[in-house]
Amino acid sequence: MVARVQAEFDLPEGKSVFFASDLHLGAPNAASSAERERAFVAWMDSVKPRAAALYLVGDVFDFWFEYQHAIPKGFARIQGRLAQWSDEGIPIYMFTGNHDLWMRDYFTKELGIQVFHEPVRHVWGGRHLVVGHGDGLGPGDNGYKLLKRLFTFQPFQTLFRLLHPDLGIGLASWLSRGSRARTGQGDYAMSDVRKEAIYLWAEQAHAACPADYWIFGHRHYPAESQFADGRGTYVNLGDWIKWRSWGELTEKSLELN
């Protein structure tokens, strides 16, 4: 699944590749989301001079849905910054998460961002990185896997699009909050990263086709753990709700901040 190198880049001296995930913009309310969005764009401004690329590793939005001619209101500041970076030639790679899997071509057409729905393998300065949100990987979570199949089923999306946006976006935002209320507790507690579904999936994929870094979000808990073979490292980026954590790949290593 992630054995093939999809893109290969040089990492210029003094430059870094940045990673962040799980901003969940829009949740839990407008005020808290606006504050988080401002903090994130301030962080983007602070690292921009040394940025070679940015990976947004899923659930940037607590809910996202694109109609033929409409997108959800709000999020102007982050979209503006992303457009600016993109226009200035800093590539941005965006992954859909379980909360914002309904992205179509808006981010690509309007902001010049490449959007991925599955993990990818990219090479930066000779280091192999596998990057993905992490939802639905590994054993278990069968209810969610089934739901994801329904949500990504084209006819379902076409039907949903027939709802007036006031109704569709309202309904889905409400469902999205419910999904967090159900799973939210577990999200903030990770006793042993090596027992996590994403880690187990990555460890197995690493055994089949090694990579230097396996980078995911979704768990809302920053973590780093080297695989038993000592050649690959599992990284979970944490989130911007509690941790405001991010990853930085320099010419030496990948650091979680």
User: Binder to Mn ion among 26, 56, 85, 97 (CB under 5 A)?
Assistant: 97
> Which window, 10-18, 66-74, 93-101, 192-200, contacts Mn ion (CB under 5 A)?
93-101
| β-sheet with 254-256: strand ranges across | 114-116, 92-95, 51-56, 16-20, 247-249, 254-256
Considering only residues 200 to 219 of the shown chain, the ones binding Mn ion according to CB under 5 A are 218
The distance of closest approach from Cβ of residue 218 to Mn ion in the complex, given in angstroms and rounded to an integer, is 4
Is 98 near Mn ion (CB under 5 A)?
Answer: yes
Total residue count of the chain as it appears in this document: 257
Closest CA to 100 of 137, 142, 130, 66: 66
Number of residues in contact with Mn ion under rule CB under 5 A = 4
How are beta strands 51-56 and 233-237 bridged, if at all? unpaired
Q: Site map for Mn ion, 36-75, x if CB under 5 A?
A: -----------------------x----------------
Q: How far apart are CA 50 and CA 127, in angstroms?
A: 18
Is 96 near Mn ion (CB under 5 A)?
Answer: no
> Which window, 40-48, 49-57, 94-102, 106-114, contacts Mn ion (CB under 5 A)?
94-102
The distance of closest approach from Cβ of residue 142 to Mn ion in the complex, given in angstroms and rounded to an integer, is 17
Chain residues in the site for Mn ion (CB under 5 A): 59, 97-98, 218
